[in-house]
Amino acid sequence: MRVAHVTDIHVLVAPSFGECFNKRALGAANLFLAGRKSHFTREVQEALVTAVLAQEPDVLACTGDLTAMATDAEFEEAHGLLEPMFAAQPSVLIPGNHDTYVRQAELERSIEKWFGSWTGEGDWPRLHVHGDVAFVCVDVCRSAWILSSGSADTDQLTRLDRMLAEVTQPFVFVLLHYPLRGRDGEPYGPWTRNIENAPEVEAVLARHAGRIGAILHGHEHHGFRTQMPAEPPVPILNPGSGGYADLPDKGRRAHFCVYTVEDGRMTDIERFAYDGTGFSPEPGGPWASGG
């Protein structure tokens, strides 16, 4: 089975004045005044869709941040752009902190309104099974939260513990929006951007380390690969943003990954990088570029 992994596409639509309130106003200021708008481009996002479709994966996994400010306009735009990519094969999707940016978005469950076919519904974590591969999808994003940090509540951790104990598939992906570890294997920080109780999340995952094939995440837009210390260690994989503007002189390029799983083992990792016109295999192999 080949599993494509995309993350942090960040479809951006300029908000109306009416939408510029509370946290979104800060987001708008950050995105437009500080120039972040130019960090993500439609050209690259469209190339990402084309490239993922060309790979014909068996499953597509997305670790969130489809939008920038979780407005209706952005979800509609993101749906128009991304629906063909998600619909071409079974797909699994979790929100990122930018998809639950304000309380309104969470209350209206915007991501489930537009992408519910792939998020599923009900309590988190959510289990998706495709073939002999399980996808355990965790959501620790908070809305109306001034920081970009997340938190896993006790109920979700209890359900996660039980789900991992009961899953029977020989290969399990755990999907998290946030990194657990930084690129050198250190606990991920700063505290304004991480899961505030990441050690508790890790403790649950570590209890089932032998069952987890890999942890997939995004949030950090320069991709990296590391591992969670456990017995055995668990690979942690972040392709990097799939919608990043092409600014190679600043070290910014969009990426996505394709993982091959055979007989309960990951046998290959391919990482594709935007090359100015489309996506091609990263020169030197996955993460050889360093970010």
Q: Which residues bind Fe ion (CB under 5 A)?
A: 8, 65, 96-97, 219
CB of 177 to Fe ion, least distance (A): 6
Name the minimum Å distance from CB 268 to Fe ion.
Answer: 26
Output the smallest distance, CB 167 to Fe ion, in A.
26
Judged by beta carbon, residue 133 or residue 198, the one nearer Fe ion is 198
The residue ranges of DSSP E strands in the chain, in sequence order, are 2-6, 59-62, 91-93, 126-130, 133-137, 171-175, 212-216, 224-228, 234-238, 255-262, 265-274, 279-281
Report the candidate in 140, 144, 155, 137 with the shortest Cα–Cα distance to residue 195. 140
Taking the least distance from each CB to Fe ion, the nearer of 149 and 289 is 149
Nearer to Fe ion, 129 or 144 (CB): 144
* Closest CB to Fe ion among residues 77, 133: 77
Nearest to 59 by CA among 97, 87, 22: 87
Whether residue 149 contacts residue 188, with contact meaning beta carbons closer than 8 Å, is answered with no
In angstroms, what is the minimal distance from the CB of 119 to Fe ion? 16
CA–CA separation, 193 and 187 (whole Å): 12
- ∠ CA 261-282-8, nearest 5°, is 75
Q: Which of 231, 222, 149 is nearest to 190 (CA)?
A: 149
Is the CB of 213 or the CB of 242 nearer to Fe ion?
A: 242
- Beta-carbon contacts of residue 56 (< 8 Å; ≥ 6 apart): 2, 88, 89
The minimum distance between CB 34 and Fe ion, in angstroms, equals 15
The answer to whether the beta carbons of residues 89 and 58 sit under 8 Å apart is: yes
Nearer residue to Fe ion within complex by CB, 188 or 279 = 188
d(CA 242, CA 200) in angstroms, rounded, equals 29
**Residue of 65, 76, 75 lying closest to 239 (CA atoms):** 65
In the bound complex, what is the minimum distance in angstroms from residue 40's beta carbon to Fe ion? 9
Q: How far is the CB of 143 from Fe ion (least distance, A)?
A: 13
Q: Can you give the length of the chain in residues?
A: 291
**Do 69 and 10 meet the contact criterion of CB atoms below 8 Å apart?**
no
Nearer residue to Fe ion within complex by CB, 6 or 85: 6
